[in-house]
């Protein structure tokens, strides 16, 4: 990860989710930011006419991190293994390989490079750690983000 994960308690929790009707198809993203000390929350969502679920998962995290006004310790809470592994494992290797992924003995283009680059830039501004939650298993904030993300893509159906 570009910025070291903080072992301290997060100042902010960023709950995020993405959804797609078809893959590709109309998609939506949503996040909830919660300030740990005050409990104050902010939620936001948006969508795109033709996208993928992984792109929407990433957009939720990007938009949430962009909403922060200063360097912050953030716990990203998501059901996306793609985002979690990307942030914690894949991103450093892709950067070291010139934004390419290794497939056997060859270097290939990475999917969603534009969004990974945006996330990389945001990771320099914040101390981020990732926590995976199982989707659709009753996690209150994850379920709320899912409802918002689905509602966001409904206007494109």
Which of 11, 18, 86, 120 is catalytic? The answer is 18
26: helix, strand or coil: strand
Active site residue 18: yes
136 — phi, psi (to 5°)?
A: 55, 40
Active site residue 126: no
Which of 11, 48, 79, 141 is catalytic? The answer is 79
Active site residue 17: yes
75: helix, strand or coil: strand
Which of 28, 47, 48, 57 is catalytic? The answer is 57
Which of 48, 120, 141, 146 is catalytic? The answer is 146
Which of 11, 17, 120, 141 is catalytic? The answer is 17
132 token code pair = 């995976």
Residues paired with 78 in a beta bridge:
16, 132
Distance from C-alpha of 112 to C-alpha of 54, rounded to nearest angstrom: 8
Give the residue numbers annotated as catalytic, written as ranges: 17-18, 57, 79, 136, 146
């Amino acid at each position: 990860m570009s910025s070291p994960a903080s072992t301290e308690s997060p100042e902010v929790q960023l709950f995020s989710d993405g959804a797609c009707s078809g893959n590709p198809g109309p998609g939506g993203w949503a996040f909830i930011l919660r300030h740990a000390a005050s409990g104050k929350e902010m939620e936001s969502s948006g969508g795109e006419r033709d996208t993928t679920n992984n792109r929407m998962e990433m957009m939720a995290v990007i938009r949430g991190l962009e909403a922060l006004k200063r360097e912050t310790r953030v716990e990203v809470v998501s059901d996306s293994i793609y985002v979690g592994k990307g942030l914690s494992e894949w991103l450093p290797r892709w950067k070291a390989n010139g934004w390419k992924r290794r497939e056997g003995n060859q270097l290939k283009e990475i999917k969603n490079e534009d969004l990974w680059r945006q996330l990389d830039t945001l990771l320099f501004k914040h101390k981020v750690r990732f926590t995976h939650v199982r989707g659709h298993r009753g996690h209150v904030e994850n379920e709320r983000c899912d409802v918002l993300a689905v509602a966001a893509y409904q206007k494109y159906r």
